Amino acid sequence: MRDQIDSKLITALQENAQLTSQELAERLGLSASQAARRRQKLEASGVIRGYRAELDAAELGLGVQAFVQVQLLNHDRKITQSFNKLMVSQPEIVSAWAMTGDADLLLRIYSKDLASLNALIHDILLAHGAVSRVHSQIVMNQIKQDAPLPA
């Protein structure tokens, strides 16, 4: 069971995953060994699934961010699995959600330019037999950056 100290630890690690046990201890009012044990417990339980570097898409040459809604022809298991494999194989698709409503899926895509996005949509997504319709929205400006989860 998580407590307030675990919540503070989670918040601190979401702000900076490179904090040492000593730095965490100072923030939490614990010893370094207690902070390390709590972090290990959260990792072992699956609350903390991993650590990643936060990258600047523009600096990597990824100038276009888009959200693409995909409507499938049907929900046949083989077709859905095939399309899921296709999504996983495309590095430009950084996340995908199964949705309720008009679209079956919502994809978050980063591409170097509009031509690359167009090729992904037309030559890969729409070319897959499972897709009936695609609706894309280009991000003009990201007002709020991806935020830490509330702990």
CATH code (residue 9): 1.10.10
Could you tell me if 130 and 66 lie in one domain?
A: yes
Could you tell me if 24 and 96 lie in one domain?
A: no
Q: DSSP letter string over the chain?
A: ---HHHHHHHHHHHH-TT--HHHHHHHHTS-HHHHHHHHHHHHHHTSS--------TGGGT--EEEEEEEEES---HHHHHHHHHHHHH-TTEEEEEE-SSS-SEEEEEEESSHHHHHHIIIIIITTSTTEEEEEEEE-S--SSPPPPPP-
Could you tell me if 134 and 62 lie in one domain?
A: yes
Could you tell me if 39 and 68 lie in one domain?
A: no
Say what the pLDDT of residue 2 is: 87
pLDDT tens-digit profile of 63-96?
Answer: 999 999 999 998 899 989 999 999 999 999 999 9
- Mean pLDDT along residues 119-145: 96
Q: Average per-residue pLDDT in the chain?
A: 95
Could you tell me if 127 and 102 lie in one domain?
A: yes
Rounded to two decimals, the pTM is: 0.85
Could you tell me if 65 and 105 lie in one domain?
A: yes
Domain residues for 13? 4-45
> What whole-number percentage of the chain has pLDDT above 90?
89
Report the number of distinct structural domains present in the chain: 2
- Mean pLDDT along residues 4-18: 95
In a domain, 30, yes or no: yes
